[in-house]
Amino acid sequence: MNLWQIAWRNLMRRKLRTLLTVISIVIGVSSTFAVIASVDTAKKTFPLYLKAAFGKADYTIYGTEAYFSENVLQEVEKIENTASVAVLNQATKLHIEEEGISSIQKRVDLKGYSKLDTPLTDFKLIKGSLTSGGAIITDRTAKVWKTDVGDTISFDTDKGIKRFKYPLSSSIQPN
């Protein structure tokens, strides 16, 4: 008797065991592919997340308070061959009088930088200057808000409405 015939006869005799064996093989193979895919995805995405979170910084200094003194920034700037930028991040809302815009569409994350023209920020300038003051927004944001150089943009902050000329500075293209 042929080995294949014996194997086939045993498979057909115990159909439930055969079905459970096939299901377990399918689950095992699909689990293996899922793990391989998730590891490959993690290898590709974690560097992107780290770059988005920390930019080009080799190290980041966090304080124990909400703010730390300017002396800390001055001490860091004294270190040779370093470029340092102090960053302030605040969630706020765009102050706009136009009807039909929901509260969620007005959400804005304001980021303040102590210096804009450093290798750490590395903004690609489209219009204006990074050193003349005022608000600096991306070219996409300028198109959505329908603003141009010289327009005023307003934000609802914890300390009331703050208005900025857009941009006394520039449009930038984010990296």
Q: What is the pLDDT of residues 2-23, one digit of tens each?
A: 898 998 898 899 999 999 999 9
CA-CA distance, 125 to 172, in Å (whole number)?
A: 5
Nearest residue to 141 via CA among 119, 112, 111, 172: 172
**88, 160: one domain:** yes
> Which band of pLDDT confidence, cut at 50, 70 and 90, is reported for residue 162?
confident
Global pTM reads 0.45
Q: Residues 6 or more apart from 33 whose CB is under 8 A from it?
A: none
**89, 139: one domain:** yes
> Which band of pLDDT confidence, cut at 50, 70 and 90, is reported for residue 28?
very high
Number of domains in the chain: 2
Q: Is residue 144 part of a domain?
A: yes
Query: Which residue in this structure is represented by tokens 């941009």?
Result: 167
Residue 151 has pLDDT above 60, yes or no: yes
CA-CA distance, 43 to 30, in Å (whole number)?
A: 20
**DSSP structure string for 83-98:** ----EEEEEEEEE---
Q: Is residue 71 part of a domain?
A: no
**48, 99: one domain:** no
Domain of 18 in residue numbering reads as 3-54
pLDDT above 90 as % of the chain: 18
The three-class DSSP label of residue 52 is helix
